[in-house]
Structure 1
Amino acid sequence: MAFEPRQTSVGGNIRQAGERLFAIVEGALEEEREQLALWVPVAMGMGIVAWFLLPNRLEWLGFCCFSLAMAAGGMLLPAGGRVRQAIVLGGILACVGCVLVWGKAMAWGTPPLPRAAFMEVTGEVRSVSAIPAQQMSRMLVRPIDAPALPRQIRVNIAQKDVPEGLGEGAIVRFRARLMPPAPPSLPGGYDFARRAYFQGIGATGRALKPVKVLRPSTSAPPLRARLFAHITGRVEGPGAGIAAALATGDQGAIAEEDAEAMRRSGLAHLLSISGLHVTALIGAVIFLLMRVMALSRRAALDWPLMLIAAAGGALAGIGYTLLTGAEVPTVRSCVAALLVLGGLALGRDAITLRLVAAGAVVVLIFWPEALVGPSFQMSFAAVIALVALSEHPRFRAFAAARDEHWLRRVGRSLGAMLLTGFAVELVLAPIALLHFHKAGMLGAFANLLAIPLTTFVVMPLEAMALLLDIGGLGAPFWWLTARSLDLLLVIAHGVSASPWAVMMTPTLPTGVFAAAILGGLWCLLWRSWWRWAGLIPIAAGVAVMSMASPPDILVTSDGRHVAVRASTGGMALLRAGAGDYVRDMMAESAGFDGEMSALADLPEARCSDDLCAVRLDVNGRAWRLLLTRSDMLIDKAALQDDCASADIVVSDRRLPPWCRPRWLKADRRLLWRTGGLAIDLNQGRISGTKIASDAHPWIVPAVRNRKARSGNQL
């Protein structure tokens, strides 16, 4: 009896507690059985994200093995349970997502050019797109008889240097300095190299004149290019670029100040072809088809009008998607619209979160790389927020149509639109802060005016103008379109000028963003009481974002541009002549919304033509910076003494070994391995853009080999 198990044994209590917890989770999943399918794209997305975050093949394989092991472990749970199904399917789908993007990267991607090269290129033009706002054209070229070059390169041509006969299918010859697609210059910056790899672009450059056309193009310009040129030629004023973007999705004719105003005011989503445009087009086609067919008595009585109109709307949506380049938001909107039309044709309500999940699965299967881009994330996040809000019983009760005075009806509609705007802005904020380091704060109010103006005024006027241009009668409607777009720009510039228009943060850790997104999905996809547990990671993410300290020093990957946070709280640049692109990139990474001054103008800096010495006081400690400004040879004795007295030395050249600062020497040798740097002196933390063991295929092989040889020196 002494060796028999007692009822108060610790093991028995733990087992009973585990059984009770398992029963609670099983009951909760059974209650949410209608929502479980919504997590299919989430599980696939976790595998895709893991492939992008993990650096090398061994860790990718390890993730797949872990996912399959989790699925195998789930098979040991009681058969028929929801927990078992969730764990097994979740593990398999995560592995599928990782293998899917891994396989596409190996099969379809284009490796980058190993190193910069100046050469003469002969190639076939695949496409040409005009960018009037920057006075240039951009063409994709397939090199001919050049095995050392990637299979496709992208070059820019000044507008005045574009020759006659340039177009799709032309054979051209030009000289250019080609470079690998640019990786991010600063931590958290835009990774064009990753996007170019999946787009099939292996090198970029600028073509030097003369650009010779050896064989002119014989094919007519694509319909999208002809439509773009037609609209920009018919609309007068700054709204021409926006009119072209609304119809074709090409934003190349929008002036930078107007594009920035649209971004700051939260109206940039109007410029990309997405659900708003696809829905408006399909709705207009269905409306016209129903009215035209209803004119025939036989059709109205005997034909399935809704089915025919839905088929016509579907064809119009597919054609519009192909015309505008089949971007991710357009494809998602088209897939969702097709499902909605199918539901309407069958007499069912198809506007549900299952529709959104189906669209996400389609996009992830064919374009898994789109998941890590802002377009996919913002598009699906906004739609999920809208659908989840519309399905909430209290919102439905508030927004439902009823017999009341027209003033109350209008007020109710405006209130519903304002609530949906707030919901979308709240969901999109962490995504915007991660990718752009700023989020709109007044977008809900701006959209309250801009969306009805665009949907019910601008787009119908533009469509009518295009239709009447067949007979040469569209001029009045083009004038009205231009005036309505002027009003849209007034709204954008007025909202963006407000000091509360945007909230800016420095570069955020990926883990904080992931916690906020998963918490948001937990709140939006579940329906029972435990959905509110997602507020915990959201609150943690918001707390980290609000307490994030901006970096004190930013160094680009080439070492030429350095931004330093001054004692007044502003930012100062080492090279006062830096262009707008560099200034915007530095300001966004630092979470700074203001004008950057020149470093030489700071009272704490002493600068000559060759060097700048800066003293920074952070938390009672004085940090001494030494920055090089020129390529001139500096006296060894003077430079050695300056290096020895400095804590940090930054240079775009390779400094000799006898230059030994007290804490960090960020010269060309170090920056080659780390990329751009963000230095937080308050916490003594240094962040770089590169990982030593990164084996993703868009990483330039020469850089990866150099890292492997010199990894011990870091």
Structure 2
Amino acid sequence: MGVKRIVAAVTERPAERDGAFNEDWEEGAAAAFGSSGWWRWLSPVLWGWAWLVGELAAERERWVLWIPVGFGGGAALYFGLRFEPPWWVGLAAVGAAALLMLGLRRWLAGLLVGLGLLVVAAGFLVAQGEAARVAAPILSRELGSAVVTGRVMAVERRPGALRLTLRDPVVSKLKPEETPKAVRIRISDKHAPPAPGAMVRLRATLSPPPPPAEPGAFDFQRRAYFMGLGATGFSVGSPEILDAPPVTGWSQTSIWFEQARGYIAQRVAATIADPVEASVTAALLNGEEFAIPDATMDAFRFSGLAHLLSISGLHVGIAAGILFYVVRALLALSPWIALRWPIKKIAALFGILSALAYTLLVGAPLPTVRSVLMTGMIMGAVMLDRDPLSMRLVAFAGIATTAMDPEGMLGPSFQMSFAAVVALIAAFERISEPLAVWRRGFGWFGRSVLYVGGIVLTSVIATLATLPFSLFHFQQIAFYGVLSNMIAIPITSFWVMPWSLIAYALLPFGLEAPALIAMNWGDRAVIATAVFFAGLPWSSITVPAMSAGGFMAVVLGGIWLCAWTRPWRWVGLIAVIGGLATPALVQRPDILVSGDGKLMGVRAASGRLSLSAKAEGRTGESWLQRDGEPQAAAPWPLSGRGVDDRLACDALGCLYRAHGRTVSFIRLPDALDEDCGAVDALIGPVSARACRAPLVIDRWRLRREGAHALYLEAGGVRVDSVRDRRGDRPWTGSVPPRPVLPSGAPRD
């Protein structure tokens, strides 16, 4: 009872405090710790603890919002391990946490601790189970001129090329047990694209999915593993169509929607002459943004409008909302129906069905799945006469989407989508009541002004909420994002999306041309908005990559800020600001080496990176992006001095001197004898096993550990590699990809 009185003294009667401790505090502390008064020495700590407990008790209605945080944290813990845990670890953790919670069920604090551990363990188990479920062979080496036969499951249209995803392929140079479950092959757009569902044969060069370009960079290899993609490649020939039996079940449904996306792209291209406008219109209708030219995509990114091209919650919500109001209005035209049927609930059901159909049509990307879940719950709440907007709705959607695709939780689409929604609902919770009062007191003009203000406020909140994720994943800030969204979002909401729904309805009858033309007028305005703001000075800047620790501080601080309602929530703002400051504190590597040793980079005195070749590939572009630099410094010379005289090159290789260290880059093995005994580190795509330099990074080490980052310091050369960061996991090719159950039967 003494502790309860302490908490009550701190939280329930703050107005009676006189700067020290009131009577209730004195009596409560004495009852809890004795009358000797020793506790007075610890009074600030005890008071702080009591205040914390009191705030937490007052927020008991919000405790449930931390369940998806713990669930996602458990999944992130699995992906953060540097080794693959035994199959039983997740099950054992869940069982132990459940037993702990059961044993402490009579003690509230213990029960909450047990529940928290159970949620974390459940997230870990789901991620581990998903990794086992999708396990499939991954190509371990490059295959040249292999004959690949498989069924086309997806056709992606890109500028100048087509990208085919083949399911259950047969590869001439691989045994069945070594063959990936799916491969993705790039072909020229000069060839007629095969229809989804067709069986094709072509000759292609295949490679394993590429690992990260540097330690800590985006891991496409992991993403490909969870997509079931075991190899990528290209073909210079035309695919040969083969006779094959039709597919059945869900695969047939998937193929049907893929065919529908292709049909939409064809009809848009036949109606809209301008290829840029056609690609944007098609992207909004079928979710395929690959065909949009790079210059246009850059304009959307630099202007802060890239989210309009990625089918997300905005599009699904608008589509469901439009159909909801249209169906309700049509049913209300009949007094007999309106008086006898629950037309609002019927319209909500149509909203759910439209959101589901739209998601399947655009390929079900993760943000859209999240939006469908939330839209379904909102419409379900309407059908059950409940409040449709709440933070608990987001919590449910977070758990469901994480369970469906645990690895997708690590990507920018998931994180930015949820960040915007959580921030908007948190803001709505705080301003909804005053807004309702203002709205009742305004006429039509005042309500119009209030609506415009709502768009501005929504744009500001969404932009600020997604900024940390843009910094972490893309190292980019779009300064005019609020202004561009104020123009583009109303055009998309009130013109583009309504016409897109009309186009959907007319497409089966071949009468879609007028709707597509009208829709394209809005798309043209959105494109012009993107180009205008992207062309302004300082439209976008890049910054160095944020550290993982800083990013975690931002995420947890933002959740703390939005989840709680009492003043202590502002503590989260400190963590957010601290995390956002970390890019200025991050030390970028002095030397970068690609995984194949074909591209290397060294730091100039100005801090910019100088590359051994042009930064035209994924690796060089990733290095510059994570540096926060739009372009590299002067390239390495073939011979002579360069990089602020830090680099000296000849036909055999280059020597780089900085911070009192000397590093040799080998072009030809003839340089080994001279450099091995005279440098602090030796790097090159050659075999240098006999070299006695303090640090040797040759082709064998690169093949084993992937890309390297080197930091030249007074105490020596500090090394970081992709393998150091990732460890040995199923998607790295270091662990057998198909786990085996205790019975000895392979898991499907």
Q: Same fold (TM over 0.5)?
A: yes
Question: CA contact under 8 A between 2:207 and 2:232: conserved in structure 1?
Answer: yes
- Name the CA shift for 1:687/1:433 in 2 (closer, same or farther; >3 Å): farther
Question: CA contact under 8 A between 2:681 and 2:696: conserved in structure 1?
Answer: yes
Deviations 1:311-345 (A, max 9, x none): 11111111111222222111110110111111122
Equivalent position of 1:709 in the other structure: none
Quick one: distance in 2 between partners of 1:675 and 1:603? 29
Equivalent position of 1:708 in the other structure: none
Equivalent position of 1:254 in the other structure: 292
Equivalent position of 2:731 in the other structure: 698
Q: Which moved more, 1:94-103 or 1:466-475?
A: 466-475
Q: 1:32 aligns with which of 59, 72, 76?
A: 59
AA aligned to 2:178 is L
- Name the CA shift for 1:157/1:592 in 2 (closer, same or farther; >3 Å): closer
Q: 1:228 aligns with which of 241, 256, 265?
A: 265
Q: 1:118 aligns with which of 130, 135, 144?
A: 144
Equivalent position of 2:6 in the other structure: none
Deviations 1:168-187 (A, max 9, x none): 44333333232222111212
- Name the CA shift for 1:456/1:231 in 2 (closer, same or farther; >3 Å): same
- Name the CA shift for 1:160/1:41 in 2 (closer, same or farther; >3 Å): closer
Tell me the SS of whatever aligns to 2:241: strand
Tell me the SS of whatever aligns to 1:532: helix
Deviation at 1:487, TM superposition (A): 2.4
- Name the CA shift for 1:173/1:161 in 2 (closer, same or farther; >3 Å): farther
Q: 2:591 aligns with which of 542, 553, 559?
A: 553
Equivalent position of 1:329 in the other structure: 367
Equivalent position of 2:347 in the other structure: 309
Quick one: distance in 2 between partners of 1:45 and 1:437? 24
Question: CA contact under 8 A between 1:640 and 1:659: conserved in structure 2?
Answer: no
1:11-90 alignment runs, 5 A limit: 24-58=51-85, 79=106, 81=108, 83-90=109-116
Equivalent position of 2:133 in the other structure: 107
Deviation at 1:573, TM superposition (A): 1.4
Question: CA contact under 8 A between 2:612 and 2:635: conserved in structure 1?
Answer: yes
1:81-480 alignment runs, 5 A limit: 81=108, 83-118=109-144, 120-144=146-170, 146-160=175-189, 162=191, 166-209=194-237, 211-215=239-243, 222-237=259-274, 238-393=276-431, 396-397=434-435, 400-404=438-442, 409-468=447-506, 474-480=512-518
AA aligned to 2:164 is R
Tell me the SS of whatever aligns to 2:176: coil
Equivalent position of 1:711 in the other structure: none
Question: CA contact under 8 A between 2:146 and 2:206: conserved in structure 1?
Answer: no
Quick one: distance in 2 between partners of 1:264 and 1:248? 23
Deviations 1:5-26 (A, max 9, x none): 995486x779999987665444
AA aligned to 1:493 is V
Q: Which moved more, 1:56-65 or 1:480-489?
A: 56-65
Which runs of 5 or more structure 2 residues have no equivalent in the other structure?
A: 1-32, 247-254, 738-748
Deviations 1:356-404 (A, max 9, x none): 1111111122222221121111111110011101111488449952444
Q: Which moved more, 1:681-690 or 1:175-184?
A: 681-690
AA aligned to 1:124 is G
- Name the CA shift for 1:363/1:399 in 2 (closer, same or farther; >3 Å): farther
Question: CA contact under 8 A between 2:484 and 2:529: conserved in structure 1?
Answer: yes
Q: Which moved more, 1:192-201 or 1:18-27?
A: 18-27
Q: 1:562 aligns with which of 582, 600, 607?
A: 600
Using the size of structure 1 for normalisation, the TM-score is 0.87
AA aligned to 2:182 is I
Quick one: distance in 2 between partners of 1:207 and 1:216? 22
Deviation at 1:49, TM superposition (A): 0.5
- Name the CA shift for 1:549/1:250 in 2 (closer, same or farther; >3 Å): same
- Name the CA shift for 1:148/1:108 in 2 (closer, same or farther; >3 Å): closer
Deviation at 1:594, TM superposition (A): 3.2
Q: In the alignment, does 2:721 pair up with 1:688?
A: yes
Tell me the SS of whatever aligns to 1:336: helix
Question: CA contact under 8 A between 1:389 and 1:395: conserved in structure 2?
Answer: no
AA aligned to 1:579 is E
Aligned pairs, number = 685
Question: CA contact under 8 A between 2:544 and 2:628: conserved in structure 1?
Answer: yes
Q: Identical aligned pairs, as a percentage?
A: 31
- Name the CA shift for 1:98/1:558 in 2 (closer, same or farther; >3 Å): same
AA aligned to 1:132 is R
Quick one: distance in 2 between partners of 1:380 and 1:90? 21
Question: CA contact under 8 A between 2:147 and 2:201: conserved in structure 1?
Answer: yes
Quick one: distance in 2 between partners of 1:682 and 1:502? 33
Quick one: distance in 2 between partners of 1:513 and 1:281? 33
Question: CA contact under 8 A between 1:550 and 1:591: conserved in structure 2?
Answer: no
Using the size of structure 2 for normalisation, the TM-score is 0.83
Deviation at 1:52, TM superposition (A): 0.3
Q: In the alignment, does 2:639 pair up with 1:607?
A: no
Deviation at 1:62, TM superposition (A): 7.0
- Name the CA shift for 1:613/1:410 in 2 (closer, same or farther; >3 Å): farther
Tell me the SS of whatever aligns to 1:598: coil
Question: CA contact under 8 A between 1:155 and 1:207: conserved in structure 2?
Answer: no
- Name the CA shift for 1:148/1:453 in 2 (closer, same or farther; >3 Å): same
Quick one: distance in 2 between partners of 1:394 and 1:281? 24
Q: In the alignment, does 2:578 pair up with 1:540?
A: yes
- Name the CA shift for 1:407/1:678 in 2 (closer, same or farther; >3 Å): farther
Equivalent position of 1:635 in the other structure: 670
Tell me the SS of whatever aligns to 1:422: helix
Q: Which moved more, 1:675-684 or 1:316-325?
A: 675-684
Quick one: distance in 2 between partners of 1:21 and 1:307? 50
Deviation at 1:503, TM superposition (A): 4.2
Equivalent position of 2:697 in the other structure: 666
Deviation at 1:406, TM superposition (A): 5.9
Q: Which moved more, 1:492-501 or 1:39-48?
A: 492-501
Quick one: distance in 2 between partners of 1:187 and 1:400? 53
Quick one: distance in 1 between partners of 2:388 and 2:238? 56
Question: CA contact under 8 A between 1:127 and 1:141: conserved in structure 2?
Answer: yes
AA aligned to 2:727 is D
Question: CA contact under 8 A between 1:167 and 1:217: conserved in structure 2?
Answer: no
Quick one: distance in 2 between partners of 1:343 and 1:67? 32
Deviations 1:21-71 (A, max 9, x none): 665444333311221111111111111000000122459977886787677
Deviation at 1:217, TM superposition (A): 8.4
Quick one: distance in 2 between partners of 1:189 and 1:651? 22
Quick one: distance in 2 between partners of 1:496 and 1:318? 34
Question: CA contact under 8 A between 2:303 and 2:530: conserved in structure 1?
Answer: yes
Quick one: distance in 2 between partners of 1:692 and 1:431? 21
Deviation at 1:494, TM superposition (A): 2.7
Deviation at 1:534, TM superposition (A): 1.6
Q: Which moved more, 1:184-193 or 1:492-501?
A: 492-501
Question: CA contact under 8 A between 1:223 and 1:323: conserved in structure 2?
Answer: yes
Question: CA contact under 8 A between 2:287 and 2:311: conserved in structure 1?
Answer: yes
Q: 1:657 aligns with which of 679, 684, 690?
A: 690
Deviations 1:62-93 (A, max 9, x none): 78867876776666768363x33421211101
Tell me the SS of whatever aligns to 2:184: strand
Q: Which moved more, 1:681-690 or 1:531-540?
A: 681-690
Tell me the SS of whatever aligns to 2:723: coil
